[in-house]
Structure 1
Amino acid sequence: MVVTDESPSPSLSLDEFQSALQRLGRSVVTASQVARVLECSHAEASERLAALADAGRIASADVSDDPVVWYPLDIEALSSREHRILFPERREVVVEHPRQFTRAQLAQFAHLVDSSGDAYIYRIREEDVWQAPYDHLEDLLRTMRDVLPERSPHLEEWVERQWGRAHKFTLATHEDGYTVLRAASDDLMGNVALQRLDQGEHVRAPISDSEVWVASERVGEIKRILYDAGYPVQDDRELESGDPLDIEVELDLREYQRSWVERFESAHSGVFVGPPGSGKTVAAMGAMAAVGGETLVLVPSRDLAGQWHEELLTHTSLSRDQIGEYHGGEKNIRPVTVATYQTAGMDRHRSLFDDREWGLIVYDEVHHVPSNVFRRSADLQAKHRLGLSATPIREDDREADIFTLIGPPIGTDWAALFDAGFVAEPEVEIRYVPWADEYARNEYVSSHGHERRQVAATNPAKVEAVRTLLEDHVGSKVLIFADYLDQGEALSKALDLPFVSGEMRHRRRQVLFDEFRTDRRDTLIISRVGDEGIDLPNAEVAIVASGLGGSRRQGAQRAGRTMRPVGSALMYVLATRGTNEEDFARQQLRHLAGKGIRVTERDAPQVEPVVDPSEEDAQGSDEDAPTDGIGGTDTSDETDTSDTPTDGDGDE
C-alpha cells in the first residue's frame, strides 16, 4: 500500500489489530510487525497504532529494541477471541473459540476430527470435497476463502484436483435406452475403469475408447468400485418416472425447501440434509410432485410409516385409497406405499419392488441404507432416488455408501436456518453427575468393557439429576432418553412416568405419543424408539440419561426432538464424572458442534445415594431384567406381541 503525503492514513480498528495479533501469534507487537501484516509502511503503521491508543483501545510500552510495543488493554477478551490456524500440508484447520458461522461454514467442506475443549480440529478429506454441496468449484473455493485465515495456493490446487476427480466418470442413457459409462479420457477408461470392472458382469461391450455399455442392474456396484478407486461417478441417466401419478402439495414450501426440490429435479437423485424441524418430509412431498410418478417410501419403523401416511393425507392431494402401508401390521400396496426397510429387504416380499413401476424411491432416515439388511432396497438404481436425514453419518465411516447408492447431499447450512428463525437453535449442555455412592463407584472400577460402560450409564445418581432438571423446567414438554431398560424402568418408578420402549405394545406406544402431541401429557421416558423420525413437535427439553456410547448421529437426533421453529430448545446429556462417559458425551455431540451449535459443560450437584445396595441385590442382577440387546441395551425399534412372527421392528 502506497500512501502519499496528501492522503490521510486510514484508521485501524480494534478488530483489525486483534486479527494482526492472531496472524503473528503474539500478544504484543511492534509497528514493524503490524506494517508487514497490513502491507503498509512503518510510519503509517505507527500512526495508525498511535491513533488507536489515543482512542483508549490499546496501550503501548517503551522497550529497548523497537523502541515501542503495542498490546490490547483487555488481554482476557483477546484470549477468548476466535483464532483460526491453517496447516495446508496436513489439510487441517484448528479453530480456538469458534463462532457459529465459522463452524457452519467449515462443515460444508471439512470433517470435524476433535471438538474437545475450546479448540476444534477440522480435516479436509477427499470425500469432503467430492460431497461438498456446491454446483461449481468457484462456489466451494469462495466459501473456503471466506472462512480460512489465509489463502493457500497449495490447498486450493489440491481441492481443484479432487473436484476434477469427481467429474471424470459419468453415467448416461444412450438414445437406444441402455446405460453408458463415459470417461473424461481414453486413458482413464483403460487404466482405471476397465482394470477394475468385470467384463461381462459390469461391462457389456465397448462403444468407443472412452465409452462402454454397462449393465444397468449393476450400476450400484459400478459406482462403488469407481468411488473406492478415487473417482466418484456423476449419474446423469434419464431415470424412470414410473406409472404417472398427479400429486399436489397443499402448503407453501419455504424458499430453501423449493431450492432443495429444484436441485433434486436437476440431479434426479440426492439426499436432503437439514436439521430436525427443517421440513425434510414436506420437501420430499415437493419432490414427489415434481417427479409425478408412483412412489415407494422406505422407513425404519411402523411408527414412522403411520406418521408418513397421515402427513401425506394432510399435506397433499392424495386420497386415502391412494396411500398404502406395507409392514408387519398391514400389507397394502397403493400408488404411494410406505414400507419398512426390514420388510422390503426380505426375499418373500420382493414383489413390493418388482410388481409396480415406481418412479421415485424415498429413503427416510437414509443412514440405514448402508447396513447390510437395508442395502437390498438400494438396488433400484434406475428410479429417482431421494434420501432424507438430519445426520447422514455412521460410526462405521460408511456414510460414503449413502451418497454412492442414493445421490449427492442437497441441503442448507444449519446456521442459516437458525438465523432465519426456521429452526430453534438448541442450547446443549453436558452435565457431569457424581457417583451415587462408593458402592456404585467400586462396581465401575471392578468391571470391564461393555459392562463398565453400562455401570457408568446407569449410575443411580442420574435419577436425582433428572428429577432436578424436571424441577428446573416445570411446565415444559420434556423427553427423557434411556437406552437401558433397567434404567428406564427405574426412572419410571422413581418419577411416576411411563417408559416407552421396544417392550411396549405398538398400540400403547401410539396412545402415549398422541397424548404427548396433544398436550395431555408433559413428560415421557423413551428408549431408542424415539430417536428417529417420530414427530413429537412440541418437545422443549431433551434429557439424555444414557446413550449409544458416543454415537454422533444419536446425539443430533435427540437434540432434534426439540429443534422446531418456535419456543426454546434445550438438551442435557448426563455423564458420570470420572468415567469414559465423559469422552462418549463429547464425541456424541461432535456433529452438533460442527454444525455451529455451542455445547457447554458443567457439574451436577452432589446427591444422596438413591438405591440401597441390599435393595439392588433383592431385586436381582441386570441379567434378570428384560433386554433388547447385549448387556441390556434397548436395540429394538418395535415389538409386536401378536401371533405374527416378528423381525426387528415387528415386521414379518
Structure 2
Amino acid sequence: MTEDDAGDGDGPSDASSNDAPPKYESGEPTTEDEAVSTETAEDETPTTAVDASGTPATVAVEDVTVADFYGALEAEGRPVVTAQQAARRLGLSQATASEALDALAADGPLQRVDVSTDPVVYYPSEWGRLADRERIVLFPERREIVVDQPTQYTRARLAQFAHLVDSTGDRNAGTRGYLYKIRQEDVWQAPFEDLDALLSMMRSVLPRRSPHLETWVENQWKRANQFRLYTHEDDYVVLEGASESLMGNVARQKLDEEHLVAPISDTESWVRDGKEAHIKRILYEAGYPVKDNRDLESGAPLDVELRVELRDYQRDWVDRFIDQKAGVLVGPPGAGKTVTGIGVLAAVGGETLVLVPSRELAAQWREEILRHTSLTEDQIGEYHGGEKRVRPVTIATYQTAGMDRHRSLFDDREWGLIVYDEVHHVPSRIYRRSADLQAKHRLGLSATPIREDDKEREIFTLIGPPIGTDWSKLFEAGYVQEPEVEIRYVPWADDTARNEWASADGRERHQLASMNPQKIAETRRLLRQHPESKALVFVDYLDQGEAMAEALDVPFVSGEMRHRHRERLFRQFRDGERRTLVISRVGDEGIDLPNAELAVVASGLGGSRRQGAQRAGRTMRPAGGALVYVLATRGTSEEDFAQRQMRHLAEKGVRVTESDLTT
C-alpha cells in the first residue's frame, strides 16, 4: 500500500499524477523564428585540393598529416569520420584517403574501429587519453549540449540557461554523460538582467560560439518582451503588443471577447476584468510570454517591523521582487526562502495571504512570522481543517482556500501580497484557481519548481519570473552545505525475493524492488557508520515503513498518524530527543527539520526529480556534514528512477556519485 497523506484534507492531492515519468521533447520546434536558420553554410563546404587549372590535385598518401585529419574532423563537425567523409573534406579519392588514414592509424596518432555493418571510422588516439576529462560538444541546430565528465563549475553554469534532459553511463567507470537542451522557456526564465549577460554566460561554458544558436536565443529573448499588461490612467488593464502585426495576427487571433473588451488602438486592447491569468496562459502557449507592468494593489496597510538581519543575497531577492512586483523565489533548501518571504511581507506593507500545502507548514509560518517581525498573535490567523481565522496576515492551505464555500473570504479581502509556498503545486487542478488573484503582488517560493508533467512553465506564467541565485555561489560562501549524494545499488536479500520480483510485472514488480528487504540491512549499516548523525529514512510504502521502523526500533511517521502525534515527533527530532525517524511522503516538503545530517532514501515513487531534491534538501543547512544515500535494487527499474530522482540536484551542480554493492 502506498502512502496516502490526504488524511487531514489539506495535503497535496496530485502527487501521483505529478510523479509520472517525464515526457521528452521530440522533433524540431515549428515557430517562425526557429524555421529560419541564420547560420552560414561555411562548415558544409568541402575543402577540395585543386591546382591552378581547377583540376583536383594529386596528393600522396604520405602527404596527409594528423593536422589535415583534425581539419577534416572540424569541417565535418563530428568526433569520428569515415574514409569517405575524410576524402570529401581533403579532396582525395576514397581509396587514397582510406590508405592514408590506415597509415596514420598504424603509426599511432589515429585509431580505427570497424563498426559492424557501417564503414570503418577513424578518430584521434588522443580521444582515448581524454576519457577521464570533461568534454563539451555543442549541437546548435538541435540546441543540445552533451557533456562527458562535467565539472561542478560547468553544471552550475549550464543550469542557468539549459535543461538537463538525461544522464547516462557509469560515473565510476568514467563514462557518465549529461544531455542538456536549451528550450524557449529556459531563455525566457534565465536569471539575467539583459541579453548580453545571458550570451556572456553561454560563451563562458560552451566550447565554441554558434551564430545560429545565439541568433535563436536572441529571438526568444525578444519574444518575451512582445506583449505587456499595464494599468490605464482610468484604472483598467490594457494588453499592448509591440507592433500592429503582433496584436492583430497573434493576440486578437488567440483571444476573443471573453478576454478582451474592445480595441483601443492598433496595438492595444482593453482587458476584461479578471482575465489576466487566462491571457497570460494563452499567449505563453503561443510562444509569447507576457510582461506584467500593471500597478498592483497594495491592499489594506499593515505596519510591520522586520526583526531579522537579512543576508546580502536575501536583501537582493527582496529588492528584485519589489522592483518587478511578482516572481518566484528559487533557491536551495536551507537558503532562507521563508525568511526572505517575510522580508517581502514587511517591504510590501500590506495585508498578506500565505498559501501552503499542509497544516504543518501553516504552523511553521506562524512561528516564523512571530519570531522575525513585530506582528502579534491576534494579527495572524490560520485557515485550514483545524482552524479558521482570517486576520491581516492569514496562512491558509491551498485545498481549503480553493473550496467554493471558503473562496469568497479570500477573493473579497484587499490583500496586498499573496505568498505561494511550495509554488510547484500551482499548475495542478486543485491549486491553480488561487493563481487567478492576478491583481495582487505574487511571490512564489520553491527549491524545486519542476514537475514531471512538464507544466512547470505555468508556474512562471501565472506567478511571475524566477528570482534566485546560483546554487554553487551559496555552497561556496558557506550559506548552505552542499550535500554528498551517493546512489547505492544493492543486491537482492535472497533468491526468494528476487524470484518473486521476476515473476511479477508492472506496478507490482516496481513495488517489490522498492521493498527489497536488503535495504533494511543496508540502512542499518549506514546508521551504524554514522552513529552521531541525526537521520531521516524516507520510504514511499506503508508496509516498508512499518518494517523498517520495527527493524530499527524507531517511530514511523506517515499521513495515517494523527497530526498532533506527528508534530510531537518532529519537535522531539528538532530538540535532539530522537536521532532517527522513518518518514513517508509527509516529510518530503516544507517540514522544518533543520538539523538532519543524514538522509537515506529507501524508496521513491516514479523517480520524481522534485521528490529527490526535496528529500536531499532535508540535510542542506549552513553547518555540518550533509550526507544523502539513495538505495536502488540492482538490475531493476529502480536504477533509472534513482538516477532520475537526483537529476535536479545534478543540474544545479551537486555531485552525485554511484557505488555497486553487488560486486
1:567 aligns with 2:624: yes
CA contact (8 A) 2:487 2:629 kept: yes
Aligned equivalent of 1:110, options 138, 151, 162 = 162
Aligned position for 2:251: 193
1:319 aligns with 2:371: no
Secondary structure of residue in 1 paired with 2:335: coil
Secondary structure of residue in 2 paired with 1:459: coil
Secondary structure of residue in 1 paired with 2:430: coil
Could you tell me how far 1:352 is from its partner in structure 2?
A: 2.8
Secondary structure of residue in 1 paired with 2:445: strand
Moved over 3 A (4+): 29-38, 63-78
Alpha carbons of structure 1 residues 34 and 441: separation in structure 2 relative to 1, 3 Å: closer
Aligned position for 2:133: 81
Alpha carbons of structure 1 residues 65 and 101: separation in structure 2 relative to 1, 3 Å: closer
Aligned equivalent of 1:432, options 477, 489, 509 = 489
Alpha-carbon distance in structure 1 between the residues aligned to 2:109 and 2:584: 60
Aligned equivalent of 1:173, options 231, 234, 237 = 231
Alpha carbons of structure 1 residues 64 and 98: separation in structure 2 relative to 1, 3 Å: closer
Could you tell me how far 1:31 is from its partner in structure 2?
A: 7.0
Q: Give the letter for the 1:167 counterpart.
A: N
Q: Percent identity?
A: 68
1:264 aligns with 2:321: yes
1:162 aligns with 2:247: no
Gapped regions of structure 2 (runs ≥ 5): 1-64, 75-102, 112-123, 170-175
CA contact (8 A) 2:227 2:240 kept: yes
Secondary structure of residue in 1 paired with 2:275: helix
Alpha-carbon distance in structure 2 between the residues aligned to 1:572 and 1:419: 22
Alpha-carbon distance in structure 2 between the residues aligned to 1:470 and 1:446: 33
Q: How does 1:351-370 map to 2 (within 5 A)?
A: 351-370=408-427
Aligned position for 1:555: 612
Alpha-carbon distance in structure 2 between the residues aligned to 1:219 and 1:125: 25
CA contact (8 A) 1:550 1:584 kept: yes
Aligned position for 1:613: none
Aligned position for 1:142: 200
Could you tell me how far 1:93 is from its partner in structure 2?
A: 0.6
1:98 aligns with 2:98: no
Aligned equivalent of 2:403, options 346, 360, 367 = 346
Aligned equivalent of 2:439, options 382, 400, 403 = 382
Aligned position for 1:464: 521
Q: Give the letter for the 2:143 counterpart.
A: R
Alpha-carbon distance in structure 2 between the residues aligned to 1:73 and 1:450: 46
Cα RMSD for the two superposed structures: 2.3
Aligned equivalent of 2:563, options 499, 506, 510 = 506
1:288 aligns with 2:340: no
Q: Give the letter for the 1:132 counterpart.
A: A
Alpha-carbon distance in structure 2 between the residues aligned to 1:169 and 1:406: 17
Could you tell me how far 1:291 is from its partner in structure 2?
A: 0.9
Alpha-carbon distance in structure 2 between the residues aligned to 1:64 and 1:456: 51
Aligned position for 2:16: none
Q: Give the letter for the 2:625 counterpart.
A: S
Alpha-carbon distance in structure 2 between the residues aligned to 1:147 and 1:251: 38
1:333 aligns with 2:333: no
Aligned position for 1:520: 577
Aligned equivalent of 2:538, options 467, 472, 481 = 481
Q: Give the letter for the 1:311 counterpart.
A: E
Alpha carbons of structure 1 residues 65 and 76: separation in structure 2 relative to 1, 3 Å: closer
Gapped regions of structure 1 (runs ≥ 5): 1-28, 39-62, 607-652
Alpha-carbon distance in structure 2 between the residues aligned to 1:69 and 1:80: 19
Could you tell me how far 1:447 is from its partner in structure 2?
A: 1.5
Alignment deviations for residues 316-348 of structure 1 (CA, whole Å, 9 cap, x no partner) = 111111111100110111111110011011001
CA contact (8 A) 1:173 1:237 kept: yes
The aligned length equals: 553
Alpha-carbon distance in structure 2 between the residues aligned to 1:73 and 1:535: 53
CA contact (8 A) 1:115 1:593 kept: no
Secondary structure of residue in 2 paired with 1:217: coil
Aligned position for 2:295: 238
Q: Give the letter for the 2:613 counterpart.
A: A
Aligned position for 2:182: 124
CA contact (8 A) 2:143 2:213 kept: yes
Could you tell me how far 1:76 is from its partner in structure 2?
A: 8.1
Could you tell me how far 1:603 is from its partner in structure 2?
A: 2.2
Aligned position for 1:152: 210
Secondary structure of residue in 1 paired with 2:168: coil
CA contact (8 A) 1:362 1:387 kept: yes
Alpha-carbon distance in structure 2 between the residues aligned to 1:194 and 1:227: 14
Secondary structure of residue in 2 paired with 1:79: coil
Alpha-carbon distance in structure 2 between the residues aligned to 1:469 and 1:391: 27
Could you tell me how far 1:120 is from its partner in structure 2?
A: 0.5
Secondary structure of residue in 1 paired with 2:302: coil
Could you tell me how far 1:405 is from its partner in structure 2?
A: 0.7
CA contact (8 A) 2:533 2:598 kept: yes
Could you tell me how far 1:255 is from its partner in structure 2?
A: 1.1
CA contact (8 A) 2:109 2:125 kept: no
Alignment deviations for residues 536-574 of structure 1 (CA, whole Å, 9 cap, x no partner) = 000001000111221000000000000001111110111
Could you tell me how far 1:300 is from its partner in structure 2?
A: 0.4
CA contact (8 A) 1:216 1:382 kept: no
Alpha carbons of structure 1 residues 33 and 254: separation in structure 2 relative to 1, 3 Å: farther
Alpha-carbon distance in structure 2 between the residues aligned to 1:143 and 1:75: 27
Could you tell me how far 1:351 is from its partner in structure 2?
A: 2.9
Could you tell me how far 1:32 is from its partner in structure 2?
A: 7.8
Aligned position for 1:496: 553
Name the TM-score, length of structure 1 as normaliser. Answer: 0.82
Alignment deviations for residues 569-595 of structure 1 (CA, whole Å, 9 cap, x no partner) = 110111111100000001111111110
Alignment deviations for residues 79-99 of structure 1 (CA, whole Å, 9 cap, x no partner) = 211111111111111111101
CA contact (8 A) 1:30 1:68 kept: no
